[in-house]
């Protein structure tokens, strides 16, 4: 009897312990769920407050974007414009958080409408991409010129191609500005037209000169008339290196013509092609 009573009491104790342990586990589980829920809610509140603040940042970044242009028309970029300035603004735009997904949340978690912030951020992205595109195009064109324009709104009269430029490279630049419109696009087109004209003038004059001489010998095209015509076109070549190259070839032709034409030389030719003695 005594032994069976002890066994019964032990069973009761075990059951009580199990009940206590079960209740403790249940309380902990409920506490964890409540804590997770509270953390999730705090995350949502933080995210929504951050998005509200981003709207203020977007206005500030719009002002920063405008400072990269010469004026409020937002056509021509400031000069000089460092690439680091563009990158700095771009990184700030990319860091903007405008929707629930930016915080690892779902859109249904938000109680606020973020569509305006999303739209404003995208407009900023488009603006900085346009600035990057314009800067890239200007840098590529500048690489084909003797000196880059200090003001891209200036007339094309000051543009001088360098020795690297080709018609193919100019055509590639034209394709780069396809889709652009406005005053900037028109100004770049005028510059490309001038570059195109200079390349064609050089190529045509070079071909005309080369038709007059084959190696060291004159050809049938090496007439005084063709020589004078080529000489008069030298002033059209703005690049001094390219002009000197053609002048040297004309000097060689001139020497060959002298032996056949009793030294007939156009007035002013010597000043153009013969180096002055020091």
pLDDT of residue 246: 98
Q: HEC string of the chain?
A: CHHHHHHHHHHHHHHHHHHHHHHHHHHHHHHHHHHHHHHHHHHHHHHHHHHHHHHHHHHHHHHHHHCCECCCCCCCECCCCCHHHHHHHHHHHHCCCCCHHHHCCCHHHCCCCCHHHHHHHHHHHHHHHHHHHHHHHHHHHHCCECCCCCCCCCCHHHCCECCCCCHHHHHHHHHHCCCCCCHHHHHHHHHHHHHHHHHHHHHHHHHHHHCCEECCEECCCCCHHHHHHHHHHHHHCCCHHHHHHHHHHHHHHHHHHHHHHCCCCCCCHHHHHCCCCC
* Residue 257 is assigned to a structural domain of this protein: yes
* Residue 72 is assigned to a structural domain of this protein: no
> For the chain, how many structural domains are there in total?
1
Percentage of the chain exceeding pLDDT 90: 61
Using the predicted structure, report yes or no on whether residue 267 has a pLDDT greater than 60: no
pLDDT of residue 276: 38
Q: For 153-163, what is each residue's pLDDT tens digit? A: 877 889 999 99
Q: For 83-135, what is each residue's pLDDT tens digit? A: 999 999 999 999 999 988 988 888 888 888 889 999 999 999 999 999 999 99
Q: For 88-97, what is each residue's pLDDT tens digit? A: 999 999 999 9
Using the predicted structure, report yes or no on whether residue 274 has a pLDDT greater than 50: no
* Residue 206 is assigned to a structural domain of this protein: yes
Q: In terms of residue numbers, what domain contains 229?
A: 198-273
**Across 57-71, 113-127, 170-184, 248-262, least confident range:** 248-262
* Residue 28 is assigned to a structural domain of this protein: no
* Residue 255 is assigned to a structural domain of this protein: yes
Q: Tell me the mean pLDDT in the region 173-197.
A: 94
Using the predicted structure, report yes or no on whether residue 217 has a pLDDT greater than 50: yes
pLDDT of residue 234: 97
pLDDT of residue 41: 72
* Residue 263 is assigned to a structural domain of this protein: yes
* Residue 260 is assigned to a structural domain of this protein: yes
* Residue 173 is assigned to a structural domain of this protein: no
């Amino acid at each position: 009897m005594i032994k069976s009573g002890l066994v019964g009491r032990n069973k009761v104790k075990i059951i009580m312990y199990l009940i206590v342990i079960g209740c403790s586990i249940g309380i902990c589980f409920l506490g964890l769920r409540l804590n997770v829920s509270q953390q999730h809610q705090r995350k949502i509140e933080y995210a929504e407050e951050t998005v509200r603040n981003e709207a203020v940042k977007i206005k500030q970044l719009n002002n920063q974007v405008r400072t990269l242009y010469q004026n409020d028309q937002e056509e021509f970029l400031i000069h000089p414009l460092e690439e680091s300035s563009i990158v700095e603004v771009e990184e700030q735009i990319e860091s903007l958080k405008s929707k629930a997904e930016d915080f690892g949340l779902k859109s249904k978690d938000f109680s606020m409408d973020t569509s305006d912030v999303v739209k404003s951020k995208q407009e900023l992205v488009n603006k900085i991409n346009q600035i990057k595109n314009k800067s890239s195009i200007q840098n590529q064109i500048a690489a084909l010129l003797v000196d880059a324009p200090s003001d891209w709104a200036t007339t094309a009269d000051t543009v001088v191609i360098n020795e690297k430029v080709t018609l193919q490279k100019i055509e590639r630049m034209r394709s780069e500005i396809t889709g652009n419109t406005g005053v900037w696009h028109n100004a770049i087109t005028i510059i490309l037209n001038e570059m195109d004209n200079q390349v064609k003038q050089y190529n045509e004059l070079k071909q005309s000169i080369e038709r007059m001489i084959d190696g060291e010998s004159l050809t049938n095209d090496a007439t005084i008339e063709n020589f004078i015509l080529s000489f008069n076109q030298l002033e059209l070549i703005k690049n001094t290196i390219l002009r000197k190259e053609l002048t040297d070839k004309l000097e060689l032709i001139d020497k060959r013509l002298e032996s056949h034409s009793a030294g007939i030389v156009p007035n002013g030719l010597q000043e153009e092609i013969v180096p002055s003695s020091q």
